[in-house]
A and B are shown apart, each in its own frame.
Chain A
Amino acid sequence: AQSVAQPEDQVNVAEGNPLTVKCTYSVSGNPYLFWYVQYPNRGLQFLLKYITGDNLVKGSYGFEAEFNKSQTSFHLKKPSALVSDSALYFCAVRDMRLTGAGSYQLTFGKGTKLSVIP
């Protein structure tokens, strides 16, 4: 079964500094990876995804993520953090080996709370 780990419950970063939110995954076969963001009492918003191709994926709101197959990681990054980036971030993985109706599933990490300090 696939799994996702977000090793940090919370990340604090000063406004204007670069930020990284870590994610590692475990799947059999090729991974299909996602990042979502959640603001308080709201649903999840899609940020970006990796299917295949370039290891650096660019997404919404200036975020990007780097896929590293050898380290089984998909860390979320942003060059310059904003206070408005403060939120809960989720990494998720879909195992591309699973096919057929009824077998699609996203597995989410436990989330990392990002706090950007003014």
Chain B
Amino acid sequence: DGGITQSPKYLFRKEGQNVTLSCEQNLNHDAMYWYRQDPGQGLRLIYYSQIVNDFQKGDIAEGYSVSREKKESFPLTVTSAQKNPTAFYLCASKVLGEQFFGPGTRLTVL
């Protein structure tokens, strides 16, 4: 999983709560990404950031928010507006066209 860490590994949330997933990288990569993985659907892009203090919506950004205050960190907040948040969330960073992935966080809504 390279130099990308995600925490926690497992996260449980009650309906109506916001939760924040951490993603940190020590690879000095400029670009970072958040994906959601559901069984049989592959990976879908939530948000991405090419540089600090800049980020763009991906294909399924509704109900999610991000920040990129530091190069090393790209936290994802799953808000109560996300109606079906139970999924496996993957963070990635990129250099020279190749994306490196973190180990993932499995979020379950109770």
Q: B42's contact among A32, A49, A94, A108, by CB below 8 Å, is which? A: A108
Establish whether residues A43 and B98, one from each chain, have CB atoms under 8 Å apart when the complex forms: no
Number of A-B contacts (CB under 8 A): 61
Is there an interface contact between B45 and A105, defined as CB atoms closer than 8 Å?
yes
From B42, B97, B100, give the contact of A90 (CB < 8 A). B42
Query: Which residues of B lie under 8 Å from residue A14 when comparing CB positions?
Result: none
Say how far B61's CB is from chain A's closest CB, in angstroms.
Answer: 13
Question: Which residues of chain B come closer than 8 Å to A43, judged between CB atoms?
Answer: 1, 4, 6, 90, 92, 101-104
> Interface majority SS on A: helix, strand, loop or mixed?
loop
Q: Which residues of A contact B6 (CB under 8 A)?
A: 43
Residues of chain A within 8 A (CB-CB) of B44 are 108
**Beta-carbon contact of B97 and A110 below 8 Å:** no
Interface size on B, residues (CB 8 A): 30
Q: Is B28's beta carbon under 8 Å from chain A?
A: no
Interface membership of A31, Cβ < 8 A:
no
Give the A-binding residues of B (Cβ under 8 A).
1, 4, 6, 31, 35, 40-45, 48, 50-51, 54, 56, 58, 88, 90, 92, 94, 97-104, 106
A-B contact pairs, 23 of them (CB 8 A): A9-B40, A41-B104, A42-B1, A43-B4, A43-B90, A44-B43, A46-B98, A49-B97, A49-B98, A94-B97, A101-B51, A101-B54, A102-B50, A102-B54, A102-B56, A104-B31, A104-B94, A105-B48, A108-B42, A108-B43, A110-B41, A110-B42, A111-B40
A residues near B (Cβ < 8 Å) are 9, 32, 34, 36, 41-46, 49, 51, 90, 94, 101-102, 104-106, 108-111
